Structure 1
Amino acid sequence: MTTTSRPPVAEAPPSADPATGGRRRAFGPAQVAAALPGALRKLDPRIMYRNPVMFVVEVGAALTTAMAVAEPFFGGPEASGGSPIPAGFTWAIAGCLWLTVVFANLAESVAEGRGRAQADSLRRTRTSTAANLVVGYDPEADPSAEDTGTRPVSSADLSPGDVVAVSAGEPVPGDGDIVWGIASVDESAITGESAPVVRESGGDRSAVTGGTRVLSDRIVVRITSRPGETFVDRMIALVEGAERQKTPNEIALNILLASLSVVFVVVALTLHPIASYAGAPVSVPVLVALLVCLIPTTIGALLSAIGIAGMDRLVQHNVLAMSGRAVEAAGDVTTLLLDKTGTITHGNRRASEFVPLEGVRKPDLVSSAALASLADPTPEGTSVVELARAEGVVVDAASPGEVVPFTAQTRMSGVDLPDGTLIRKGAGSAVLAWVRETGPVGPVVRTELEDRVGRISDSGGTPLVVAVRRPSGHTAVLGVIHLKDVVKEGIAERFAQLREMGIRTVMVTGDNPLTAKAIAAEAGVDDFLAEATPEQKLALIRREQQGGGLVAMTGDGTNDAPALAQADVGVAMNTGTSAAKEAGNMVDLDSDPTKLIDVVRIGKQLLITRGALTTFSVANDIAKYFAVIPAMFAGVFPGLGALNVMGLASPASAIMSAIVFNAVIIVVLIPLALRGVRYRPLRAPQILSRNLLVYGLGGVAAPFAGIKLIDLAVSLLPGF
């Protein structure tokens, strides 16, 4: 099969950074400029109320702004907590609070904007196109003729069940399954990969996506989606974050933050009468500043951005998550179900060894096996020739003789050479029956052959017996070719890393238990399920879930759909059937089953990032307490001056410095929230210790240094 043209390399999205080879920067001026209008629009209280912590800050900013506007007309308090208030203090507090809210919205807006470039690229693929609707489609008829009855229609008018014909150079008008034909398809607009892929009817690679382009041949497609409800439409909505739902963990954390905010609102309201009774009334702007410093504004500002960025990291890996819940669940996965073929092994059996019988020269076996495989187009046949060449035996491919193809009846293939020599290779019983046609097989040969075949089978391999019939009529068994599933390089090490993360790996295969056991041992998986049926896969997942575990699996076929739907993380291959993609909660656009391991890493990175920044947020409040509390009451209670461990210049400077730091730290942490904390395969106690050591102590130390530096600058202003 040849392609009519090389598909164009997908453009790098507008947000790509050429200096980094097309990779998007986590946070830069271009992203800020693009996200700022969205951040300002999010100041709408109808949007802000969804983030309780930042909604409290916005209400405080609005209240402080109103008081700043009213001060020239009604006057303001001359002192707060026994200390004078500089001119413009209320305006400065209001400005810092508004900046805090805008910076929080900016984090979320930047996170949302990171997927817009890909969404715009996808949107260009869903334009209405002309389609060739097959009139009166008959599944029994031959659709190969170019003059099959069709009529042109708009892709917008297609409905599920309609059948269309798509020829080379034409776009696929909608999502569907190929019911006839095989073709090379350019999917670069969706996957970003320039290499064409093969799609064909009757298998797990029958699904095609609207907007992709057929490069060669002709296919007949049954449409499975309605206009506006295609896979591309769902991708656009998801990468833009329009339908991103909060995960249970995120909801729980929001409830906790909202509860803390309510508690500290009550504390701030209670402080005013207490301070007035003590003879040191506290102004409302100072109380608002105290409240903002008390509530966990840092994590409240970054929480949404962390979740959106987690989904975006999957998009960068060409994995589309249907919900944030799926990303979070990936971080908590305890069991991974992996298909053997194509995931753990290379997908095709390969010749690994030539085993001659006693008295047979190995070069004779190798050359005969290679001659019998020259015209064998299968990966197994090709691997036999490659192994023969690796062992120094080169056969003449110019005139291999008359090819004898493999059939299900004979279970053999081979070649008839011009000199009358016949060579056969195939299943042991079939080759022995062919040998007996010219005479009996001796007991020594039979025993020796059974021994070699048995050893190969016991090791999980597939034995192919090679025999030759000379022109004289004498037939002899030469030996055995050892075919085996070759485990991918480095896969055992990756499974070892998963084991360190506390994740159990299970290989699922249709092979017999003996072969499955051998492959599982070589790959280093924890367990295996042999001769697996859809019902057995489903039952295994349910058993794991009933034991309190979370299960992830990959699949591409219709028979995988029940298990994909049951799994907590079901990654469907983009090359798979529509049923599989509908059942899973993630779709791998590259159709690489091993990427499930990366999905788990990204999920864990999301959870670790959220935990690390929550630890930092709570810890940095400690420093702000040391700045604000002494400043409020040191004038009335001089003993509180001992708590001014930072040596801040004045109460007003201390309060202003804490509020400025509170706003600035959000901007500083946005890149970390978008990029994510670096993941290392550690157990939960180790992760907790690392968070406390790095982000706990860092969250205490950074504000002390930051507030002091800001205080040095603020103290230079008049009145501070």
Structure 2
Amino acid sequence: MNHSKQSIEAQQNTLSSTLFQAEAWRNACIKLLPQHMIKNPVMAIVWLGTIITLVSTLLGKANLVFGLSVTFILFITVLFANYAEAVAEAKGRGQALSLRQARQNLTARRIQHKDDVNGVQISATELKMSDLIEVRAGELIPADGEIVYGFATINEAAVTGESAPVLREAGTDKSGVIGGTKVLTDRIVVQVTAEAGNSFLDRMIALVEGSNRQKTPNEIALGILLTVMTVTFIVVVVSLPFIGHFLNIEISPILLVALLVCLIPTTIGGLLPAIGIAGMNRALKANVIAKSGKAVEVAGDVDVLLLDKTGTITYGDRQATAFYPLAGVTESELRQAAMLTSLADPTPEGKSVVALAKELGERIVDPDQAEFIAFNASTRISGVNLPDGHQVRKGAFDAILKFTLQNLENHSELKARVEQVASKGATPLVVVKDQNLLGVIELSDVIKPGIKEKFARLREMGIKTVMVTGDNPLTAAAIAAEAGVDDYIAEARPEDKLNCIRVAQNKGHLVAMVGDGTNDAPALAQADIGLAMNSGTQAAKEAGNMVDLDSDPTKLLAVVEIGKQQLITRGALTTFSLANDVSKYFAILPALFVAAIPQMSVLNVMQLGSSESAILSALIFNAMIIPLLIPIALRGVKFKPSTSTQLLRRNMLIYGVGGVLLPFVAIKVIDLMISPLLSL
């Protein structure tokens, strides 16, 4: 049965792959139309050359077999270049199809106010900005918006691919919701923040299909360079017949076209669009919406990262990690008292106290008729009044002293314990029973696993990490040391983030930061890369130039690597393409002039069979290298954290030296294969 199921899945995958390839080839052929070819000047010249060689051959300007062979090879070169771009676009359309399914046939229940129970059922496309909609458990959210009333668990798998539900709540920094996601529990009222056609799903669909992809500054600059090189070589090639006239050398149009194609940077010209599209696709695969391709590339040049401590470096939920009894108090006595104060505490901290006490061997005994005292922000104390009259409390150091009406001077041991806990970056809670101080609970905001290694990777890339936290300097220093960040800002206010970014930018740095709240919006807008959390407020999402659909603050680290990989891939393939051209000159130049200028034979270092085989071998290599490089263009050059100097040295060795040597070997092998055929 399992074998049969696997066989069916294999057949489906094969069919899907076949349909994908068919779509890519069909689109590659469509791109041969002039309105598409003009967008890529380098390949447009090759396409024009293909037409010239065909016409010249049919007019008898060259041997029929040789002329048609050159025409076919040039046509294949253009087709392969179009195929590279079509494959990248087809991958995006596959993502778009699944996204479209998430928004089909959505309806909305529009209401007048949060208590309105008589909502009007309308199509989601009729919703306007600021409309209020009610969404109940089991229903799909019809539009992007912010929860203004209630809270609910939501399944965002249709958009993010993550099946685990997430909690969204009004009045918090996790109030944002996406159209097309499903409410699993409770009832929420959502205020619409995006009209039909401008939602996150719409933006994602447009991005993955490439319709909204704008070329990045680096891509534009490289495109201009390639165009200038192409025009220069056109001028050189067009002037050759005039030079040949004075030297009594007749050069056919087919040979001139072949020379031009081998001179101009066809490889990178053919792969450049695919590299740009693939970079956007890699960002989208990581569930990051980049508002422009520029944002992805700028991420690769970032050298300062500004990170919030809570939720980014730490989990944000403090957990009880140790109990410290005072002299004369047993550990069991402290654990029992701490557990009693936390039995009715619904906070993660309270639950962790009970869990730690139980883990250390204490039995949970829920006292009958006890009066539980909930935590209060003004008193900063919680606890329980037992039926026998005893009062047990836990809270901040100064709040407990105030509760017990005791002086700090009389409790040097307790003060030392509190300072010991704080020096480790943890939060101390003091436990008291009646007027007797029992000891201290250590609450630690746990560092996320692997975060130190990630910061080490960034340091290897030359990127400085700065932690921003509202904690006191002592706690901030301890967490910074444990997490491995390069610097920290303690007791930071929202405006301090903005000032920090401006100071770094004034020193010539490119700064990235992550945020989710309205108070983060100014800093997100000021940063060169602002990564907003999708669960955050609309103000934050509008201010940032990237939005993380997973709402994972550590995603910024992945975004930087995606950006660097994009830059490295384009640089490596450009180096490889230009290095290829150097080798091709040694194949085709002697073939053109050796008959009239025998001294040119000194350049025939590859000892190619004949002029015709040399030209065809160079053109075949020129055509075949494009599809061979498509996987690298789409997947990206493998990225390893290192300095710019190390990256340059490695790329020059692999793609520079390798790009010069490979054509010598490949063209010689092709020549050995086709020379016998030409002699028939």
Q: Report the TM-score range of the alignment, normalised by the length of the smaller protein.
A: over 0.9
Count of residues in correspondence between the two structures: 671
1:76 corresponds to? 61
The residue type paired with residue 649 of structure 1 is G
Match of 1:453 among 378, 403, 418: 418
Letter in 2 for 1:667: P
Report the CA distance shift for 1:442/1:517 in structure 2 as closer, same or farther (over 3 A).
Answer: closer
1:289 corresponds in structure 2 to 258
Q: 1:177·1:223 contact (CA, 8 Å) conserved in 2?
A: yes
Matched ranges for 1:493-532 at <5 A? 493-532=453-492
Distance 2:266 2:371 in 1: 79
> In the alignment, does 2:386 pair up with 1:417?
yes
Mapped to 1, the partners of 2:505 and 2:82 lie a distance apart of: 38
Matched residue SS, 1:114: helix
Provide the C-alpha distance between the structure 1 equivalents of 2:319 and 2:233, rounded to a whole number of angstroms.
68
Distance 2:249 2:342 in 1: 96
SS at match of 2:431: strand
Q: Name 1:331's counterpart in structure 2.
A: 300
For 2:528, which of 562, 565, 568 is the aligned residue? 568
- In the alignment, what sits opposite 1:683? 643
**What amino acid sits opposite 2:587 in the alignment?**
A
**Equivalent of residue 534 in structure 1, options 494, 509, 527:** 494
Query: In the alignment, which residue of structure 2 is the partner of 1:88?
Result: 65
Note closer, same or farther for the CA distance 1:292–1:394 as it changes in structure 2 (3 Å cut). Answer: same
Cα deviation for residue 181 of structure 1 reads 0.8
Q: Please name the residue that 2:82 is paired with.
A: 105
Secondary structure class of the residue paired with 1:352: strand
| Separation (CA, whole Å) in 1 of partners of 2:347 and 2:561 | 36
Give the Cα–Cα distance (whole angstroms) in 1 for the partners of residues 640 and 578 of structure 2: 23
Q: Paired residue for 1:590?
A: 550
- Pair 1:367-2:336 in alignment: yes
The Cα of 1:537 is off from its aligned counterpart by 1.6
Structure 1 counterpart of 2:4:
none
Equivalence for 1:131 = 108
1:167–1:216: 8 Å Cα contact kept in structure 2?
yes
What amino acid sits opposite 1:367 in the alignment?
A: Q
Q: Superposition pairs for residues 236-315 of structure 1, below 5 Å?
A: 236-315=205-284
Pairwise CA RMSD of aligned residues?
A: 2.2
Structure 1: distance between partners of 2:243 and 2:409: 105
**CA apart distance, 1:131:** 1.7
Go from structure 1 to structure 2 and tell me whether the alpha carbon gap of 1:359 and 1:53 turns closer, same or farther (over 3 Å shift): same
Where do 5+ consecutive residues of structure 2 fail to align?
Answer: 1-7
- Which of these residues, 498, 507, 514, is aligned with residue 547 of structure 1? 507
SS in 2 for 1:336: strand
* Stretch deviating more after TM superposition (672-681 or 52-61): 52-61
| CA-CA distance at 1:87 after TM superposition | 3.3
Q: What residue number does 2:203 align with?
A: 234
**Structure 1 residue 640 and structure 2 residue 629: aligned?**
no
Report if aligned partners of 1:374, 1:400 keep a CA contact under 8 Å in 2: no
The residue that corresponds to 2:428 in the other structure is: 463
Partner of 1:10: none
The one-letter code sitting in structure 1 at the alignment partner of 2:65 is G
1:65 corresponds to 2:54: yes
Alignment of 1:599-610 (within 5 A): 599-610=559-570
How many angstroms apart in 1 are the aligned matches of 2:51 and 2:471? 68
Tell me which of 351, 371, 393 is aligned to 1:402.
Answer: 371
Q: Is 1:206 matched up with 2:149?
A: no
Q: Is the 1:32–1:106 Cα contact (8 Å) retained in structure 2?
A: no
Paired with 1:285 and 1:719, the residues of 2 have a C-alpha distance of: 20
> Aligned to 2:666, which of 680, 703, 706?
706
Q: Distance in 2 between matches of 1:173 and 1:449?
A: 56
Partner of 1:186: 155
| 1:355 equivalent among 314, 324, 342 | 324
Distance in 2, matches of 1:18 and 1:559, equals 50
Structure 1: how far apart are the matches of 2:451 and 2:439? Answer: 32
* Alpha-carbon spacing, 1:434–1:712, altered in 2? closer, same or farther (3 Å): same
Alpha-carbon distance, 1:673 to partner: 0.6
SS at match of 1:424: strand
CA displacement at 1:660 relative to structure 2: 0.9
Q: How much has 1:432 moved relative to structure 2?
A: 2.2
Amino acid paired to 1:160 = M
What is the CA deviation profile of residues 238-270 of structure 1, one whole-angstrom value per residue up to 9, with x for unaligned ones?
A: 111111111111111111111111111111112
Which AA in structure 2 matches 1:318? N
The one-letter code matched in structure 1 to 2:222 is L
Corresponding residue for 2:5? Answer: none
Question: d(CA) in 1 for partners of 2:412 and 2:467?
Answer: 34
What residue is the counterpart of 2:98 in the other structure? 121
Q: Distance in 1 between matches of 2:31 and 2:271?
A: 14
Query: 1:90 & 1:197 partners in 2: Cα distance?
Result: 64
Q: What is the CA-CA distance between 1:441 and the residue it aligns to?
A: 6.3
Q: Partners of 1:400 and 1:122 in 2: how far apart?
A: 54
Deviates more, 1:100-109 or 1:666-675: 100-109
Partner of 1:216: 185
Letter in 2 for 1:547: K
Aligned residue number for residue 81 of structure 1? none
Instruction: Give the AA of the match of 2:90.
Output: G
Listed as ranges, the matches of 1:630-669 within 5 Å are 630-669=590-629
Paired residue secondary structure (1:559): helix
d(CA) in 2 for partners of 1:124 and 1:28?
21
Amino acid at match of 1:117: G
The match for 2:3 is none
Letter in 1 for 2:257: V
Task: Give the structure 2 partner of residue 8 of structure 1.
Answer: none
Classify 1:642/1:189 alpha carbon distance in 2 versus 1 (closer, same or farther; 3 Å).
same
Give the conservation status (yes or no) of the 8 Å contact 1:276–1:282.
no
User: Matched residue of 1:350: which SS?
Assistant: strand
Partner secondary structure for residue 353 of structure 1: strand
Provide the rounded CA distance (Å) in 1 between the counterparts of 2:319 and 2:513: 26
Contact map agreement 2:156 2:181 (CA 8 A) in 1 = yes
Deviation, structure 1 residue 418: 4.1
Structure with the bigger percentage of helix: 2
- 1:717 partner SS: helix
Q: Percent identity?
A: 56
Distance in 2 (CA, whole Å) between partners of 1:284 and 1:277 is: 17
Q: Secondary structure at the match of 1:507?
A: strand
Shift of 1:90: 1.4
Give yes or no for contact 2:57–2:64 (8 Å, CA) kept in 1.
Answer: no
Matched, 1:484 2:444: yes
1:34 maps onto 2:3 in alignment: no
Deviations 1:172-211 (A, max 9, x none): 1211111111112221111111122211111111111111
2:631 corresponds to: 671
Cα distance between partner residues in 1 of 2:603 and 2:19: 43
Q: Is the 8 A contact 1:468 1:478 kept in 2?
A: yes
TM-score by length of 2: 0.94
Report the Cα offset of residue 29 of structure 1.
5.6
CA distance in structure 2 between the partners assigned to 1:558 and 1:524 by the alignment? 28
Per the alignment, in what secondary structure is the counterpart of residue 229 of structure 1? coil
